[in-house]
């Protein structure tokens, strides 16, 4: 009888030990990150997610939205942060509307650039040459998601230069698909573009010269958080405040995300694993 009791006790203890070992660490809370489905934004949002979950112990929701909704959600406090603020020009109008309710933590990437992009075989080199050549582009400029800062600036450019051109709405994916098809057929095409972007690594492209600064000078991509995040989640705030990477870093993630069957979360987690020293510096 005593032997049975001992065996039962050992069995229960083992089950309890296994259960305890398998039990996941309890999350410290949920962080909501919003982003626009641009390749650079997708890369930074998912790397931030990997760091916050794997190193800080929070649960993270990454939520793709349009640019206007991204800013509104941070301003209203419905979301906690974004790593996708193009400043000081592209997202200036959005920032102005919510400035009192958000905190700009500064750049997480420097040297970002906007403009209109053509394949290198297109024989014009400047935005000023578009007016006399729009017929070669089928009187179209291939755009991205409606409401994006890039689209707003392109509409202003079309009007200011009195171009006989229609701005085609779509997404980053449809823009890239149209670009690929045109290049495969050696056709002229002009698209809204920005760097960093994986397309510059895949095709021979050029950003048209912009002597009038229609699309502004080089910009930074900033991290913006809701007011109160510093008090509510100081660890998360500290990481986001220190999050900064170079073109080489973000390019590796963007290119990996273009591989067939790529998993955005796994790609980000692998980059975090391969760049421990850099990630550690963000968490000090």
Which CATH number fits the domain that encloses residue 178? 3.40.190.100
Task: Report the range of poorest mean pLDDT among 15-19, 93-97, 176-180, 215-219.
Answer: 15-19
The reported pLDDT for the residue numbered 24 is: 53
Please tell me whether residues 223 and 241 are part of one structural domain: yes
Q: Which of 150, 172, 207 is the last residue of a domain?
A: 207
In terms of residues, how long is the chain?
284
Mean pLDDT of 270-280: 98
Please tell me whether residues 148 and 201 are part of one structural domain: yes
Mean pLDDT of 43-58: 98
CA–CA separation, 202 vs 284, rounded Å? Answer: 36
The reported pLDDT for the residue numbered 278 is: 98
Please tell me whether residues 233 and 174 are part of one structural domain: no
Domain that holds residue 30: 26-111+219-282
Task: Report the range of poorest mean pLDDT among 121-125, 145-149, 171-175.
Answer: 145-149
Please tell me whether residues 141 and 202 are part of one structural domain: yes
Please tell me whether residues 117 and 203 are part of one structural domain: yes
The reported pLDDT for the residue numbered 210 is: 96
| pLDDT tens digit sequence for 215-252 | 988 999 999 999 999 999 999 999 999 999 998 899 89
CA–CA separation, 146 vs 266, rounded Å? Answer: 30
Please tell me whether residues 126 and 106 are part of one structural domain: no
For 27, the token pair is: 């999350």
11 has pLDDT over 50: no
Total domains in the fold of the chain: 2
| pLDDT tens digit sequence for 65-89 | 999 999 999 999 999 999 999 999 8
CA–CA separation, 268 vs 46, rounded Å? Answer: 6
Please tell me whether residues 125 and 100 are part of one structural domain: no
The reported pLDDT for the residue numbered 17 is: 44
Domain CATH code at residue 276: 3.40.190.10
What's the pLDDT band for 254 if we cut at 50, 70, 90? very high
Helices (H), 168-275: 172-184, 199-202, 229-232, 234-242, 247-257, 264-274
| pLDDT tens digit sequence for 117-139 | 999 999 999 999 999 999 999 99
């Amino acid at each position: 009888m005593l032997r049975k009791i001992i065996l039962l006790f050992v069995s229960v203890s083992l089950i309890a030990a296994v259960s305890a070992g398998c039990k996941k660490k309890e999350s410290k809370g949920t962080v909501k990150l919003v982003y626009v489905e641009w390749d650079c934004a997708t890369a930074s949002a998912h790397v931030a997610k990997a760091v916050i979950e794997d190193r800080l112990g929070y649960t993270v929701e990454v939520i793709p939205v349009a640019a206007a909704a991204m800013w509104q959600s941070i301003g209203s406090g419905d979301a906690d942060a974004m790593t996708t603020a193009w400043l000081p020009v592209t997202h200036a109008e959005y920032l102005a509307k919510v400035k009192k309710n958000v905190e700009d933590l500064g750049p997480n990437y420097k040297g970002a650039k906007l403009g209109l992009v053509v394949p290198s075989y297109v024989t014009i080199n400047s935005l000023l040459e578009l007016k006399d050549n729009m017929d070669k582009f089928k009187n179209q400029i291939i755009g991205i998601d409606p409401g994006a800062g890039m689209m707003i600036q392109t509409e202003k450019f079309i009007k200011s230069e009195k171009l006989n051109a229609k701005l085609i709405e779509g997404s980053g994916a449809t823009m890239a698909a149209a670009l690929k098809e045109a290049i495969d057929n050696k056709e002229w095409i002009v698209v809204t573009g920005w760097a960093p972007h994986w397309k510059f690594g895949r095709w021979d492209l050029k950003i048209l010269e912009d002597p009038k600064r229609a699309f502004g000078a080089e910009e930074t991509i900033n991290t913006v958080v809701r007011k109160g995040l510093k008090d509510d989640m100081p660890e998360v705030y500290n990481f986001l405040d220190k999050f900064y990477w170079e073109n080489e870093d973000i390019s590796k993630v963007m290119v990996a995300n273009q591989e067939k069957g790529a998993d955005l979360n796994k790609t980000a987690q692998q980059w975090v694993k391969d760049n421990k020293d850099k990630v550690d510096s963000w968490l000090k």
